[in-house]
Structure 1
């Protein structure tokens, strides 16, 4: 019996329409409120679905050979072979296999999801990147189902509750990384969730060579979630057991979700790299980003004299509310030079950082959002015996120490915006535009 003889007539009609190159017939099979996902991209309503069929299929001489059909309730899943002329525009070698999953109600198609994986298997909501796009990273975002992963030996599955957004995710969307990226790729570098036995946990983000001894941040094979593995912005994430840390009861999932990247980076910068002591003065270049707000809160809790900069009065006011004694306009000359400057931006702030640190002082850098290269007066550096120290994440022990410090001091990490997964792209856009107010967290 041919596979299409066992499916709802409206599904068979849509497939016949593709092979007959009949766009009107294809569109007529869908309800007025239908939604279609192709490679995770949404097409809403008959007009958009018709444009997809015309430009994506008919103009590429597409044809479909259905191999199997499975029906369960309102769902019908077709395993098929797609042929056509896709090489020139998409670099796709045809023919190629696909799965079409239809949801049918009242003799109309309510939804169609096209995947290169068997959608009859367990799936999950996720935010993933279809390809890297340097100029328009937001365009590479897809918020659509992906297959669930089974943890290999030594790994566990976590049901994610909250995930913090990081600029590292935007680099991934641009196609940039410490390692070659393989798409599609679920983004998200950190987060908090629950194990299958109900244990509440948060994730240490750094992975690498299991046999490497010493400081994990120096491992040549180091990477974080969403580089060589899928990330955390999904209903479920798999992680090495070593990277799973039990969450203290006093720490909510939302607050815990920000500690793995920005807060761990700030902790290492402050307590490992700077050599600051209570009572000394530190300058934070910025007052509203993830790392900068963490530095202000941690430094204040540790007894440092905290100064910060901000491009606007609102950002400077935020820095003061979080514990800074003084807040200055970006580039403003300070009343006195400081013991340590923390620079997360790079090019745009570096000259001011150099001018603001006292003789024998230290500049700790962890980022280069505004540019990675800049002129440096080497004579000024060695005559004034400045220490310039790079910092990357932190060790597992530092992560555990950070958690204990935050809990013992009663610190509530500053989170400016909480969004559902379906609106995570809004959070990333705000980050790109520099409109942050502390960390942005996505709930799953």
Structure 2
């Protein structure tokens, strides 16, 4: 089968370590299913893997990809990419939690093997390309807003950074749920795009905003102080990344004095994915797709992601 995999690590030029070509077919195993991939979405996790973060040289070659939608025996499915953990579905309860492409080959391939428990029915209302965008960025945004952030209609949510998959999903989901969503971005074009997607306001990083009930933080050092100034007393900060690095100061005095809750999120549960799919099917909200590439051009697709040129999700189709 054709797949895109990590051949070598490069911290400076991650895409240079990518190889696209023939790989062995997934081997059948008990309690696992082989999915014919119809679409797979890219994530920054793929670039980190190419840099050698979370992978060891002895694990190479490793097929990239955590997100996919496809078909198993005529059943249209979405893949939940979290493998293992306490439940141990298909791998045993003692195996630590990981994402596809960390311990097991990922989804940037014509076929991928996953525990059968990880398969969720794809709603007929969603295309394969749309469904493939959901299991990482959109699932993370859903969990940040509603499971960890417990946001409810009428509340104000601040999203740090606009344009990435999680931020775009948070704007679309939040607006559809009746939230007042504010975003920050250095790019005037991205601020304007966020407004067209339903954001109630878009400002430059660090600008003063009305206090938010919930702040979604994926940037880290560059925005953390602004986040802590912008969340209301008793509010919640949900953290799902730190692309600019860890903050130099945690501002713990503000955390305890204003009784701010800080919660961490990594993707979401299978149950969250089921709820997210139902949300989209019933509301008509759809992922914003920046571009679609054939699997043979996975290097070009990852290059676009590495350059930060996208607004929305980049999808690869075998």
Is the pair's TM-score, using the shorter chain for normalization, greater than 0.5? yes
Q: Is the 8 A contact 1:131 1:183 kept in 2?
A: yes
Quote the residue 1:57 is aligned against: none
In 2, the alpha carbon distance for the partners of 1:357 and 1:221 equals 34
- Would the alpha carbon gap of residues 178 and 323 (structure 1) be closer, same or farther in structure 2, given more than 3 Å must change? farther
Counterpart in the other structure of 1:351: 225
What is the aligned counterpart of 1:313 among 147, 171, 188?
188
Kindly report structure 1 stretches of 4+ aligned residues shifted beyond 6 Å.
178-181
Counterpart Cα distance in 2 of 1:220 and 1:375: 34
Q: Report the Cα distance in structure 1 between the residues aligned to 2:22 and 2:57, rounded to whole angstroms.
A: 24
TM-aligned CA deviation for residue 210 of structure 1: 6.8
SS in structure 1 opposite 2:207? coil
C-alpha spacing 1:180/1:220, structure 2 compared with 1 (3 Å): farther
Uncovered stretches (5+) of structure 1, i.e. residues with no partner: 1-123
| 2:297 pairs with 1:423 | yes
The CA RMSD over aligned residues, in Å, is: 1.9
2:51 to 174, 180, 188: 174
Question: Residues of 1 paired with 2:142 and 2:276: CA distance?
Answer: 7
Pairwise CA distance, 1:415: 0.9
Q: How many residues align?
A: 315
- Distance in 1 (alpha carbons) for counterparts of 2:271 and 2:82: 12
Report 1:193-342 matches (<5 A).
Answer: 193-195=70-72, 197-209=73-85, 211-212=87-88, 221-334=96-209, 336-342=210-216
Mapped partners of 1:149, 1:338: distance in 2? 47
Q: CA deviation at 1:275?
A: 2.0
- TM, length-normalised to structure 2: 0.94
CA distance in structure 2 between the aligned counterparts of 1:178 and 1:367, rounded to whole angstroms:
18
Unaligned ranges ≥5, structure 2: none
Aligned to 1:411, which of 285, 291, 296? 285
| 3-state secondary structure, aligned to 1:348 | coil
- How far 1:179 moved relative to its partner? 8.1
* C-alpha distance in structure 2 between counterparts of 1:285 and 1:399, whole Å: 23
| Equivalences for residues 147-186 of structure 1 within 5 A | 147-177=24-54, 182-186=59-63
Alignment partners' CA distance in 2, 1:220 and 1:360? 37
Question: Per-residue deviation at 1:373?
Answer: 4.3
User: 2:130, 2:74 → 1: CA distance?
Assistant: 19
Instruction: Please report the TM-score for the alignment, with normalisation by the length of structure 1.
Output: 0.68
Q: Identify which of 14, 22, 26 aligns with 1:137.
A: 14
Higher strand share: 1
Please give the alpha-carbon distance, in whole angstroms, between the structure 2 residues aligned to 1:137 and 1:323: 34
1:374 offset after TM fit, Å? 2.6
Q: Which protein, 1 or 2, shows the higher relative CO under an 8 Å CA cutoff with sep ≥ 6?
A: 2
Larger radius of gyration: 1
Are the counterparts in 1 of residues 49 and 55 from structure 2 also a CA contact under 8 Å? no
1:209-232 Cα deviation digits (max 9, x unpaired): 47459xxxx997111110100000
In structure 2, what is the equivalent of residue 83 of structure 1?
A: none
Matched-pair contact (CA < 8 Å) for 1:181–1:228? no
Q: CA deviation at 1:350?
A: 1.1
